Amino acid sequence: MVVVTQARDDDSGANARLTYTLNPGLATSTKFAISSLTGGISTIDTFDFDVDDTQFLLTVRATDQGDIPRFRDVVVTISA
């Protein structure tokens, strides 16, 4: 595990339950995975720092489970 992201929702019931996702449109997201339940980010690939970047920007989205889902995105910076 590299880092754990956390979000809070002041609603109750389903509206308060959050799931986490990474923006799949970013190339660096192929190096990382996120637990949809805990927000824990871990590596899923090896790194070659002669070729790969040493800093990664991941967009994490927390979405509630309400009838009309609401979400918030945040950028997480991971440095090697």
Please tell me the predicted confidence (pLDDT) of residue 25. Answer: 66
Name the 3-class secondary structure at 7: coil
| CATH label of the domain that carries residue 40 | 2.60.40.60
Other CB atoms within 10 A of residue 49 CB: 8
Question: Domains in the chain: how many in total?
Answer: 1
**Any idea which of 4-8, 17-21, 64-68 has the lowest mean pLDDT?**
4-8
Distance, in Å, from the CA atom of 29 to the CA atom of 31, rounded to the nearest integer, reads 5
Per-residue pLDDT tens digits for 25-78: 665 667 889 999 999 999 988 887 777 677 888 999 999 998 889 999 999 988
Question: Nearest CA to 61 among 31, 29, 30?
Answer: 29
Please tell me the predicted confidence (pLDDT) of residue 61. Answer: 93
Can you give the residue range of the structural domain that contains 75?
A: 3-79
